[in-house]
Structure 1
């Protein structure tokens, strides 16, 4: 299935996979910095987000992401994933390790992770608000939880608009296909990996980052003392240099 996407710049490819609180617009602060540094930047809307509708039949998200790259003539790419987009990035990197040159995971989710009491309570509250028809309340709940103290009002408004659109797209779907689940072996991932967590995020995401940093063969974990769950939006002035340094370092490793 084709995913809504855009591409900018030229050079080594970088694929951006958004958080499930947002859509591909969350990367607006990163695209100019990446293209100016000499990269081709591809960003897509995952199924049920942004301009990509909810599939009515079963779908394989990672395969569709890999197929998008193939359709654009991109054999290999660095992948940057935020939260739920990080989970998809891990799927792609484990199933097609030869296609991923570097892997930056920002407060990534992980399939099979057992939710903390805090995360479970959030999910229950969100479900209750949606069932009660209070979509605005559910939207505000997400904005308040997922953005750290450094996020300004413009950023909060942008996340609010994206999250509200997510609910609109998903609630409008008459039928919803089931995602295909493929058994993964994350130790097949060969790309250098950067695991980022935020000190103001829920504990789940630091635990996942620590776990993955031990599991993946060429990985390191960086915790940002200023960050919540969406550091690329909260402080792009601090996040962009970190990502660019990692990409340059990884590019040198892949050529060495």
Structure 2
């Protein structure tokens, strides 16, 4: 299946991949500036998020994204991935290194990472709330956990809207199982900027700090003001960071 997406602008291809509590709308604030800067911007929803159905049983989000790029005639693209979208970005860059020109990882997850006590507790609480049918409580937990202190009411409402929709779609599906493939980070060739948030859970701060040692060309920048979703917390700051890195590594025509 072709996952739901939108495309705008012209120039080098730039793909934005969302976190596991949001959908492609999490990049609404960044999209106009990236298009105006001269990029062909692609935003998509993984299965079970936004406008993409939770269909098809076991599936690979990385392969879904690659299939979309093929359908759009995009041979190579820069990828920006937030949280789970960062993990998908790493998988694509490792399995198909020639397809990725550059990447920005925003509070990225990492396959094989052993969750610390705080992250494990959040997951257990989320599962318990959903099993009890308390979707509203689970949504509130996600907003409280993942938004940093700079998030305004509009950001909080956006997370509520996106996360509630994802819960409802995925819980209604007969079978919803993303598959994680094994891959070697050592095969990644693309230059990388890894962002972390000073108010994020320690797991994601540790992952970002490790990436320069795991990848051949990566640098880490911690945002002391940020939680887990900085693109929603200080949108213009994240836009400027993306443009600065992309202009250096992937100049627009």
Q: Report runs of 4+ in structure 1 exceeding 6 Å deviation.
A: none
Please list every run of 5 or more consecutive structure 2 residues that lacks an aligned counterpart in the other structure: none
Q: Deviations over 1:35-73 (max 9, x none)?
A: 010101001001111111113332222111111011101
Aligned to 2:219: 220
Bigger mean CA offset, 216-225 vs 60-69: 60-69
Measure the CA separation in 2 of the matches of 1:159 and 1:179.
21
CA 1:76/1:214 → structure 2, altered by over 3 Å: closer, same or farther?
same
TM-score by length of 2: 0.97
Aligned to 1:30: 30
Structure 2 contact 30–236 (Cα < 8 Å) conserved: no
Q: Deviations over 1:48-100 (max 9, x none)?
A: 11111113332222111111011101111000000000010101000111110
Measure the CA separation in 2 of the matches of 1:53 and 1:228.
29
Please list every run of 5 or more consecutive structure 1 residues that lacks an aligned counterpart in the other structure: none
Measure the CA separation in 1 of the matches of 2:59 and 2:106.
25
SS of aligned partner of 1:58: strand
By how many angstroms is 1:211 displaced? 1.4
SS of aligned partner of 1:126: helix
Measure the CA separation in 1 of the matches of 2:178 and 2:161.
26
Aligned to 2:156: 156
TM-score by length of 1: 0.96
Measure the CA separation in 1 of the matches of 2:179 and 2:106.
24
Measure the CA separation in 2 of the matches of 1:180 and 1:223.
30
SS of aligned partner of 2:58: coil
Alignment of 1:169-180 (within 5 A): 169-176=169-176, 178-180=177-179
Measure the CA separation in 2 of the matches of 1:130 and 1:57.
20
Structure 2 contact 196–221 (Cα < 8 Å) conserved: yes
Bigger mean CA offset, 48-57 vs 91-100: 48-57
Aligned to 1:108: 108
Aligned to 1:188: 187
Measure the CA separation in 2 of the matches of 1:55 and 1:94.
26
CA 1:156/1:74 → structure 2, altered by over 3 Å: closer, same or farther?
same
Measure the CA separation in 2 of the matches of 1:135 and 1:141.
10
Aligned to 1:230: 229
| Count of matched residue positions in the alignment of Structure 1 and Structure 2 | 253
Measure the CA separation in 1 of the matches of 2:171 and 2:31.
30
Structure 2 contact 58–175 (Cα < 8 Å) conserved: no
SS of aligned partner of 2:145: helix
SS of aligned partner of 1:10: coil
Q: Deviations over 1:127-154 (max 9, x none)?
A: 1111111100000000011000111001
